[in-house]
Homo-oligomer: A and B are copies of this chain.
């Protein structure tokens, strides 16, 4: 086995170049005055020795690690994967590196994750919270540790968040279904402790209210709640189908996210129901598979990469200036083939 060589230090560079440790430090970091030739020589010697600065040492001294913690429910979920990508991309631009920890949708893991990241003295944290409890995040805010929450809003707390305009998302999804003549809409929602779950439903009800005010038309709206993940959604919807059986009357199903929609589509196919002929399906998020699934999914899209980038920029701003930013990104309805117009002639 090749023995791991010790890294050269600035002291080694100092000795080899004949300058003092301090001069070397200034030459390498670019801070402070160094004569041009001196700097050149030092850089040359450093390169010869294969010098690589030791971040652990400078972090100790400067109290800045240029590390940020990213706490995520599950990096495998395409939504979070893209968010992570956005964060990582922007972080790299700014000379930061990300520490990634999964919580597997478990609040205790989230707490532990935050603690280890704090021990590692990350300069800040970006968190997609489990949301069953939020004490850990409140603690961060309380302690003045820079952090940004993605995908949830805490209205009364002065903290950074970045999320999509979920209310509008719910609104435009429902409005579209109403405009295209749907009369019985089911919302397969996530559990209500999730911010987005509550707010998307609100948006849908808002669209319903407006609609029913305008026309004298009756529209049925049902909501059921499922835990996250394909399997859970599949099971929940399956049980719902079994229970309602012949009473099942919906002509449209909105799903909390695209994964839920895939589960719904799969089940509807298994029951021989044709999409969109008999039933429309709408998702949320527009993850990449939604355009290639059968049928291509109509869905409320957000720019997930941007969500990540904005989160990082918001964090950096908070770290550097202490300012708080609360960002809501726009959503957009992508109409594909899982929905169809059922209005008979009317616009």
Contact = CB atoms under 8 A, between A and B. Distances in A.
Given A52-B118, A84-B100, 11 more contacts: A1-B322, A4-B146, A54-B119, A55-B121, A56-B59, A60-B60, A67-B99, A76-B82, A76-B288, A88-B101, A88-B102
A325 to B, nearest CB: 12
Contact of A120 (B55, B89, B116, B143): B55
A324 interface: yes
Q: Which among A57, A76, A322, A323 has the greatest number of chain B C-beta atoms within 10 A?
A: A76
A108 interface: no
Interface residues of A, number: 59
Given A99-B99, A119-B55, A292-B262, A4 B143 contact: yes
Contacts of A5: 143-144
A44 interface: no
Given A81-B81, A101-B92, A56 B1 contact: no
27 contacts: A1-B144, A1-B158, A2-B142, A3-B144, A5-B143, A7-B121, A53-B119, A54-B119, A55-B119, A55-B120, A55-B121, A67-B120, A70-B100, A75-B75, A75-B84, A75-B88, A76-B82, A76-B288, A78-B81, A92-B101, A97-B117, A98-B101, A100-B100, A262-B289, A262-B292, A289-B293, A293-B293
Interface string A61-72: 000010100100
A327 interface: no
